[in-house]
Amino acid sequence: MTNGAGAGRLSAQARLGLFYVVSYLGTGVSLPYIATYFRSRGLTGAEIGAVLAVPLLARPFLGPGLAVWADGFTLRRTPLVFLALGAAAGYLAMAFSSGFWGLLICWLVGMTCLTTLTPLIDVITLRRSRLDGFNYGVPRGAGSAAFIVANLAMGAMLAVTAPSIIVAWITTAAIGVAVVAALILPPERVHEAGVTKPDRAERWKGLGGLLRDRTFVLAVLTAGLIQGAHAFYYGFSALLWRQQGISDPMIGVLWGVGVAVEVGFMWFAEPWRRKVGPEKLLVLGGAAALLRWTAYAFAPPLWLLFPLQALHALTFAAAFMASLRLIERLAPPQSASAAQAINSALSAGFMLGVGTLAAGPLFDAFGTKGYLAMATMGGLGLIGAVMLLKKARG
């Protein structure tokens, strides 16, 4: 695979930013709207919840294995092409499948391939940002901005067309990701030139070494607790706000505020983030999660929701950026992909999956008070972050 003629004139930052943009053009539709598609295919609410949760719960078992497989290639972008095409195949197959089990299998294939892309591209971006001196948050933040654009665009399209457009959109986006990976991404090597590529057994041994590192495991669990605490918000905030009498357009504005502060944090807070360090950022993320979700449990008025939504910069963006930097520092270079895959599988996978499964019963039984379970997760994450900070200080 070689870069296209135009790609050679683009900086590494621009190439990586384009990858994130195309990728999040798909995620900006699949995350908010895939339940709408499944409902149009006749699935019940419980079936939709199960379909959405299975890939999240499977990530700790499938993600690290795929990362070990990815490290067997010469260039880091090569497995990205195959994974993106796998995601496109899984998504496209949904249009020709029927029933709960058929849609579940297709969604599991598509989401497993797509979500494995995230830690693999993060490894490339973190390394290039360190070597080339750019802010990792700029290309990653461009992806979040694309998420907002795709979200708004699909919302407008669904007002005039059938939900089948959702599958067409996310399939096209996945194919676009494969094209960008093959032709645009920099040819980053998995292993340094002259270094013998480890065989499969050695790569699995490196994965086992990570899991025996107590500090690494604590960092992954801490990040997972803070990120997993968003589950109730992702699943039921719109319903709860609607019950409070907040209009649908204003709910969209509230969600937009959360993503906007996330983008702003990634783009403009890099000097401060480096000064503070990842351990302190995790402490801030855990403390903000404890405050934010406790406040949401008491149905705050609209005016108070805006500053609480601004805490998304800490509960998501700061904790996310901190975990990437911390995992990068703790893992040896030859296990970088596996380390980030474990981090992603737990924080954006298993913990979020458990929270998603619990969110429905919590909503039915307690309404807004269900947020207190998320506050508890955030509080546990805060304890873990404090422990990591103490370890860093010796």
Give the number of other CB atoms < 10 A from CB of residue 268. Answer: 13
48 CA to centre of own chain: 20
Class of domain 199-394: mainly alpha
* Fold topology of 9-186: Growth Hormone; Chain: A; (1.20.1250)
Instruction: For the chain, give the percent of residues with pLDDT over 90.
Output: 43
Sketch the domain layout of the chain as residue ranges: 9-186, 199-394
Q: Which residues of the chain have pLDDT under 50?
A: none
* Those residues with Cβ within 8 angstroms of residue 225's Cβ, 6 or more apart along the chain or in another chain: 286, 351, 377, 378, 380, 381, 384
DSSP state of 191: S
What's the burial of 157, exposed, middle or buried (CB within 10 Å: 0-12/13-18/19+)? middle
Whole-structure pTM over 0.85, yes or no? no
**Which pLDDT score, from 0 to 100, does residue 4 have?**
52
DSSP percent split of the chain into helix, strand, coil, nearest 5: 85, 0, 15
pLDDT of residue 201: 56
Q: Which residues contact 83 (CB under 8 A, 6 or more apart)?
A: 66, 70, 113, 114, 116, 117, 120
Give me the pLDDT at residue 18, please: 96
Residue 160 CA: distances (Å) to CA of 27, 164, 238: 21, 12, 22
